[in-house]
């Protein structure tokens, strides 16, 4: 797994733990609400909402919760008004960090994010400082695949994906942003079990870290990710397979 940050693995393992305490439900509801507000409540014409609802169902969210979140987004029900924001910063060793939040109080959120970064040998940066180091891609995670490697390779490429990478337990499939949902549908038609389907900010290149630095960076990423308003956090660090 040389060259892969392992953060995606850590993040999705954390997701399974978060779901037990309900934290992931809160984040999904925010995403559904914002998606419906920005693009309307029809999943067929709103790909972002469709993805958010798919994520909710894969995490066993009750249908009533999904419907209420959509109606709050479209204004059919009263609810908290959320804003989407992004923050950029640096972590230990100068690694780049890109943070996406959904918040009802941006002043509170930026203050708390700044505090987390400062406390963990990082700093908040000006807009545009690190965003150029990332590009929007689709990411699909196939869970627990133990089948034929050649068939997997052929199926992924035939589905329209542009790359994939294996870890010990998951297969990470990369797509162009516009192809995410069509690739997802094709992989499901072929019988693959998908753990997650997301639009992500993928680093254009990575910076390898080792030893104590990797623990500091992972702890910082987890602390940011645990913040209630944080929807996603990305970085350009990588950990070699020897670690």
CA distances to 8, 234, 236 from 92, rounded to whole Å, are 19, 14, 12
Residue 4, pLDDT score: 44
Residues in CB range of 184: below 8 A, 6 or more apart: 54, 140, 194, 197
- Single residue among 74, 100, 115 that ends a domain in this structure: 74
Are 188 and 225 members of one domain? no
Residue 166, pLDDT score: 81
Residue 148, pLDDT score: 80
Are 187 and 224 members of one domain? no
Are 113 and 219 members of one domain? yes
Question: Mean pLDDT in runs of 10 for the chain (243 residues)?
Answer: 47 53 82 94 91 87 93 88 94 94 95 97 96 95 81 92 83 92 92 86 90 87 92 87 54
Residue 104 lies in domain = 83-132+205-238
Residue 150, pLDDT score: 87
Are 228 and 143 members of one domain? no
> Does residue 139 sit within a domain?
yes
> Does residue 142 sit within a domain?
yes
Residue 108, pLDDT score: 96
The model's pTM is 0.81
> Does residue 54 sit within a domain?
yes
Are 143 and 191 members of one domain? yes
For the chain, how many structural domains are there in total? 3
CA distances to 207, 222, 231, 242 from 12, rounded to whole Å, are 21, 11, 13, 21
For residues 180 and 51, the answer to whether their CB atoms sit within 8 Å is yes
> Does residue 243 sit within a domain?
no
> Does residue 38 sit within a domain?
yes
Residue 2, pLDDT score: 35
Closest CA to 91 of 61, 123, 127: 123
Give the CATH number for residue 161.
3.30.70.980
């Amino acid at each position: 797994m040389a060259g892969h940050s392992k953060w995606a693995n850590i993040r999705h393992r954390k997701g399974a733990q978060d779901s037990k305490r309900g934290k992931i439900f809160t984040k999904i509801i925010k995403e559904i609400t914002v998606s419906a507000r920005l693009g309307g409540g029809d999943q067929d014409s709103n790909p972002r909402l469709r993805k958010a609802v798919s994520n909710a169902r894969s995490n066993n969210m009750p249908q009533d919760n999904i419907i209420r979140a959509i109606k709050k987004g479209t204004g059919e029900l009263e609810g908290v008004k959320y804003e989407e924001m992004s923050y950029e910063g640096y972590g230990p060793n100068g690694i780049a960090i890109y943070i996406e939040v959904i918040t009802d109080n941006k002043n509170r959120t930026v203050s708390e994010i700044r505090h987390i970064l400062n406390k963990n040998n990082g700093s908040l940066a000006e807009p545009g400082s690190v965003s150029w180091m990332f590009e929007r891609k689709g990411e699909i995670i196939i869970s627990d695949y133990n089948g034929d490697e050649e068939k997997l390779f052929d199926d992924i490429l035939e589905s329209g994906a542009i790359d994939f990478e294996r870890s010990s337990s998951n297969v990470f499939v990369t797509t162009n942003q516009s192809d995410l949902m069509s690739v997802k549908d094709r992989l499901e038609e072929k019988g693959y079990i998908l753990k997650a389907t997301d639009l992500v900010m993928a680093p254009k290149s990575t910076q390898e870290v080792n030893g104590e630095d990797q623990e500091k960076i992972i702890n910082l990423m987890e602390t940011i990710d645990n913040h209630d308003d944080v929807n996603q956090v990305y970085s350009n660090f990588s950990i070699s397979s020897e670690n």
